[in-house]
Structure 1
Amino acid sequence: MIPLSRRLAILLTAGFLAAPVSAAQTGPFDLSPEQAGREHTTPNPEAIAAIPKDFRFVTPGTLTVGINPSSPPLAAYATDTQTVVGTDPDIALLIAESLGLKLEIVPTAWADWPLALQSGKIDAVLSNVGVTEERKEKFDFATYRQGLHGFFVHNDSKVQKIDAPEDIAGLTIVVGIGTNQERILNKWNELNAAKGLAPATLVYYDDEGTKLLAIRSGRADVMVQPHAQLVFIAQRDGDFRKVGTLSAGWPERSDVAATFRKGSGLAEPVSIAIDGLIRNGTYTRTLQRWQVQDEALDQSQVNPPGLPKF
């Protein structure tokens, strides 16, 4: 019996699965287990030298990484329903190779990653974890992507650009209730009210199909949610386009980071490894391969400022 989480992942990716499992590429994203186009790199001596001498990996010679395979193109199950593929697995592989290690991916539910890390089941988490001040009290971080939300519209929409609060005035926007995106849009509405501009109307739906129908039917103008999710939907369906992005930490910047046990000493060597990947081009090519190049960083940071406690 295939676990429910894997069956859901298969359904999510069904729009790309028109060819046999052995095919290297079946659409805009390669969801084959073979991953023929995946980037590789060579060991980075500086990063290897920075690994604490007393650090014990879960498995000697291997970097064991927790990843939640539920959100393509960041991470999902391949067509064999076993192999975890996507942006985060590719970055994890490049980090492991930079450190002179093999990679083992442990599929980890989002709610379970803190305990898996603290209990020593895994060495690191690469699963779209954003840096926050609260998380920094228990974990260390090495950033590897920007945390972005996306503004997407139907291809027929008259909306061409959203970069600032005034651009949403008078629009109807689909957003998740209780999300960071909702918090930011409410702040934008407050700024627009102070300028005498019409507020945006925020609307909420329980499932993806209803959200997309609202945009297609004209009941809503814009859809806002994590950028990579919307990139996947736009490529899958073909009738949505991006009109802007928004930092998850607005008005500040918020980055996504590889996550480690507090004081483990792995954040520094991984950050050095990521910087090496940025310099040699494998980082950029990997993000381009999964069409999330807008989330690229110029350099990795260890424990940068994160989202404040609210």
Structure 2
Amino acid sequence: MSLDASTARERRYGRWLLIAVLPIVLVSLLPLFYTIISSFRPGSEIFQFLSPLSINTFWPQEITLDNYTTLLSGDFLRALLNSVIVTSLTVVLGLAVASLAAFGLAVFDFPFKNTLFVVLVLSFLIPFEAVAIPLSSMFRDWGLANTYVGLILPGLGNGLAIFLLRQFFLGIPPSLAEAARIDGASWLRVFWTIYLPLSRPSLVGAGLILFVFQWQSFLWPLVIAPSPDMKVSPIAIADLAGEAEIDFGAMFAGAILTALLPLLILLVFQRQFTASLASSGTKE
């Protein structure tokens, strides 16, 4: 078979695959599209055209910014700022903790190292909801309720981030560290000048994991920081559902605003995140 015939067949298969997958992609995007459109609808129109379906189901008769005006005139901006502060500090401090822990697990030999690694792996397999309530009681006893420290601390020791960085560090040739040690470099300098620069894609991947876990956290901020001044954006959106009525328009608007920042970050760092998951870490 000629090269041209093989290429033509691959293109034909590619077109058929695209035709088969495209409807699935469009259907999966419908909830997102409906959320975006509904954030610009008047409140009375949001569920008016759900049954039967019509063009107005997915396109509003009237476009309005009232939902965003209502949302931003309340306490949502403060909650969004709290989310940014808590998540940013969690990523920075969490990367420091995770990278140092991963470095120790990948480079040094010490008793029960494998046991400790298994415990770390199990830690991110256990749902956080299972320990959130007893952990919140401990934090209240320590005076950490309604504080940034209380919101941030549980997100620092992320087992999945440590696992990802350890696997990457294991792929870095030990000869690089041995050469640096022969030249008189301390282990901290080896970590800072060799392992971290070679692990940028993995650091980005671990940072995105920390970011997503903290940004979408709901139960922990709900139980440890109920103060209005310490609410984060997911809690502020849930509070729009009052006892008498639910402002669905403002909730849709809040969901869109809350999703914008992680969407932008994922778009910017998507290549590094993919590389962090796919790379073996080999540098020789």
Instruction: Give TM-score, length-normalised by structure 1.
Output: 0.23
More helix by share: 2
**Higher relative contact order, structure no. (Cα contacts within 8 Å, ≥ 6 residues apart):** 2
More strand by share: 1
